[in-house]
A = this chain, B = another copy of it.
Amino acid sequence: MKYTQFKLETESAISSARACVLKTAHGEIETPFFMPIATKGSVKTLSSVDIEHLGSKIILSNTYHLYLRPGLDVLREFGGLHPCMSWSGILLTDSGGYQVFSLTRLRELTEEGAEFASHIDGSRHMLTPEKSMEIQQIIGSDIAMVLDECAPHDLASDRMKQSVDRTTRWAQRSKDAFEIGKSSSNNPGAQLFGIVQGGVDPAMRKKHARDLMSIGFDGYAIGGLSVGESFEDAKTIVQELDTVLPKDQARYFMGGAQPHEIVEYVKRGIDMLDCVLPTRNARHGLLYRFTHGDVTKPDFYETIHITNEKWKKDTTPLADVVPGAEDDVIAEELSRYSYAYLRHLFQAQEPLGQRLATLVNLRFYLELMKRIRREIQNGRF
């Protein structure tokens, strides 16, 4: 069996959802799972100790940001991001492509790669598939991503096809460079995932998935969604790809997903997701909390604005947004602070507010994934 790093445990009889275990160079993780985002080597307001306390076994970090800061010389000095940020869990990195296409003044896009000006100091750089692999191997990611072209979802069909074909060629170059650099990298046990593109055209998506599968990757991501298309379109694409992508490998939905969207993607065969929403929303005082909390039924959660007047004197503990969850270090800390105190911290612009809200929301997302997994195993999902 080729993909021994992925073990199917339970497949749902009533949906495409599955409970699996993914093995990596930094430990095993149960699927489906959610990845907190440590853009620049820190989940905003949190340390790696906090992430351990939250119980997340994986984080995602951004190749583009780390390449600019702290830079490759510092990452080389440390022997990768794991020792730099003192993280012993699993690390996934994106290719850097998404930021180059969205954050920078893109200077020139050629078959070779993308030339861009840094959003920090305007300095010129070239991101190619080979460069992206080199950076990710210096970072020492456990799961590296191929460099893909991030085209708008509403690109005309012929131009989308050109873009997807280039992404296939870049994926092959990524794989070749990844294999060559592996042994001398900061993580010789790393895996490489391909990224399926093709906008909202199911046929183009499926063709691209097959092209990538014939190159052969350790797992497959679905890119180019959560970029403005409708939720219906996104669900359709995930569902169509479920029929094509190999059952015995991990499928990763890239980009933003609200809790109810996560439920729908997992039902369509997704194993891994990342999302900036729980952490970014936390910093704006928007909290997630369970209502009835049964993830197999609608309306299992709601969001609240902690700055709302109605929480002014509410002494409910923050731990209660996730009723019935395990009593760990974070739960213990959050049981000591109330909605009213958190509201006060936001009103007074105390930095502790953003930190507590981040803990609340990540704890919610991580508990959500646990519940989904439990329901898959119970045959109810």
Contact = CB atoms under 8 A, between A and B. Distances in A.
Contacts of A104: none
Given A354-B351, A355-B355, A344 B74 contact: yes
Contact of A355 (B313, B340, B347, B351): B351
A337 interface: yes
Nearest to A349: B40
Contacts of A338: 84
A336 B84 contact: no
A336 B70 contact: no
Contacts of A350: 40-42, 44
A86 interface: yes
Interface in A315-351: 315, 333, 336-338, 340-341, 343-345, 347-348, 350-351
A352 B93 CA distance: 20
Nearest to A85: B341
Given A69-B344, A74-B344, A313-B77, A45 B351 contact: yes
A354 B40 CA distance: 15
A313 B70 CA distance: 10
B74 A340 contact: yes
A65 interface: yes
Interface string A30-44: 000000000011101
A336 B84 CA distance: 9
B352 A84 contact: no
A48 interface: yes
Interface in A19-56: 40-42, 44-49
Contacts of A40: 344, 348, 350
A8 B268 CA distance: 72
A78 B343 CA distance: 14
Nearest to A45: B351
A151 to B, nearest CB: 29
Contacts of A44: 350-352
Given A86-B337, A86-B341, A352 B42 contact: yes
Chain copies in the assembly?
2
A356 interface: yes
Contact of A352 (B45, B65, B337): B45
Contacts of A370: none
B348 A77 contact: no
A235 interface: no
A46 to B, nearest CB: 7
A348 B73 contact: no
A166 interface: no
A315 B78 contact: yes
Contacts of A260: none
Nearest to A359: B47
B333 A47 contact: yes
A280 interface: no
Given A41-B344, A45-B351, A70-B348, 6 more contacts: A45-B355, A49-B336, A74-B312, A74-B313, A84-B344, A351-B355
Interface of A: 40-42, 44-49, 65, 69-70, 73-74, 77-78, 84-86, 312-313, 315, 333, 336-338, 340-341, 343-345, 347-348, 350-352, 354-356
6 contacts: A40-B344, A44-B350, A45-B352, A70-B344, A70-B347, A74-B344
